[in-house]
Amino acid sequence: MAKKKSKTQRIVTSIKIDPEIWKQAKIAAIELGIDTCQLLEEAIQNYLKTVTTKKECSVMSELKTVLTCVKCGETIRNPKTHTKTCPKCGGTLAPRTIKLKRR
């Protein structure tokens, strides 16, 4: 069943997109009975609903939680494999979020 077209104002824009993805989007839109612009608009709206902050959108994949010893400063990069004490000095480990360096 086709959805009704929205009465909201629209702008004309252009994007660069992988031709194969665009082809799949056109096929999906036809199957849903809507035009490709509506499909893209709904996809963007759904994406924006899942992202709670602008920072989360751009840097979430670059952040990682690590454990840092409050006593000696040792950083444990894989906190799931360690207890709450530092293997180096026995101090207490505290969680900390770090930004990963781009390669």
Domain-by-domain residue ranges, the chain?
A: 19-50, 60-99
Mean confidence (pLDDT) of the chain? 77
Arithmetic mean of pLDDT, 17-23: 90
Which amino acid, one-letter code, is at 23?
A: K
CA atoms within 13 A on the CB side of 92: 3
Instruction: Provide the whole-model pTM.
Output: 0.43
Arithmetic mean of pLDDT, 4-32: 84
**93 three-class SS:** strand
Note whether 51 and 57 are within 8 A (CB).
Answer: yes
Decide if pLDDT at 1 tops 50: no
Arithmetic mean of pLDDT, 74-86: 73
